[in-house]
Structure 1
Amino acid sequence: MSETMPQEFWLGVEQFNSGQFYACHDTLEALWIEASEPEKSFYQGILQIAVALYHLSNQNWRGAVILLGEGSNRLRRYPSDYAGIDLEALLNQTVALLQALQQTGPQDKIASDDLGEADTLPLPRIELINET
């Protein structure tokens, strides 16, 4: 199934994994606008997680929490290995970060060294399924 994904999707994955969350948003949004289901919601779920991480980097706790929840809920509709992506791993990492942020609660300013439990968690990464 991964060979059916457009090259722009893989660019978005690279951008996500390298922390270029706004660029990932732009790349996946262009695909999302033109896509039909089931890819449309798949792109949107990853896009929402990327925007959540962008919000987190800008100390926007509320935006991060809302979009981590929306993105992970949207991706739960897909098999754990959809389109060559290990969605189970992405969802587990996203939910762990979301729960840590919820436990920390909103603050006037959040920074990576001021997140309480959340700072001990790595940011979610998109892992590929090993195809052998």
Structure 2
Amino acid sequence: MSLLLWDELAAIWQSGDFRGAHDWINERWSRTVQESPQGDTDPFARFLQGIAFAALAFHFAGEQNGESAAIFVEDGLSTLSRFPLSYAGVELAPIIDALAELRHGLPAAGSGLPIPPVISGVRALRFAGRVVQ
């Protein structure tokens, strides 16, 4: 996927529209699954799925939906941890770090406490060799 296409995602991601980012990623995931002989086991499809899980975790955290955020934090960490820290031109360490920070900050289920904002660089989608802000 060209950096130009990643720039489309970066603009959505940096705006904080993580639901929109998920939708953008999901379109590409669906196309990859349909076009790859490996289907949903295609490594790039799994990578996209991990990024989509992260986007949903951040979206649900912003909506103060801790139960859904917790599910997608775990799914994102599980999926993205299988890839090198730079994959397909995207630096995964900031995303993984932000997911870990979110997991650590999630209040206990049913506590009624708000989800604190993730203060790491979650909005700075980084590409190998450059940062888009």
Shorter-chain TM range is: 0.7 to 0.9
Question: Is the 2:62–2:117 Cα contact (8 Å) retained in structure 1?
Answer: no
Runs of at least 5 residues in structure 1 that lack an aligned partner in the other structure: none
How many residues are treated as equivalent by the alignment? Answer: 121
Question: Is the 2:94–2:121 Cα contact (8 Å) retained in structure 1?
Answer: no
State the shift of 1:76 in Å.
0.9
Q: Residue type of the partner of 1:127?
A: R
Query: What's the % identity of the aligned pairs?
Result: 24
2:27 paired with 1:22: no
Q: Which runs of 4+ in 1 moved over 6 A?
A: none
Residue in 2 aligned with 1:119? 117
Residue in 2 aligned with 1:34? 31
Pairs within 5 Å for 1:43-62: 43-62=48-67
Runs of at least 5 residues in structure 2 that lack an aligned partner in the other structure: 37-41
Change (3 A) 1:73 1:13: farther
Match of 1:76 among 68, 81, 84: 81
| Structure holding more helix per residue | 1
1: CA distance between counterparts of 2:98 and 2:127?
14
Q: Residue type of the partner of 1:130?
A: G
TM-score w.r.t. the length of structure 1 is 0.77
RMSD: 2.3
Q: Deviations over 1:59-104 (max 9, x none)?
A: 2100001101101210111111112211122211211111111xx2
| Structure holding more strand per residue | 2
Q: Deviations over 1:40-76 (max 9, x none)?
A: 0111111111111111222210000110110121011
Change (3 A) 1:120 1:67: closer
Question: Is the 1:8–1:28 Cα contact (8 Å) retained in structure 2?
Answer: no
Residue in 1 aligned with 2:94? 89
Question: Is the 2:58–2:69 Cα contact (8 Å) retained in structure 1?
Answer: yes
TM-score w.r.t. the length of structure 2 is 0.77
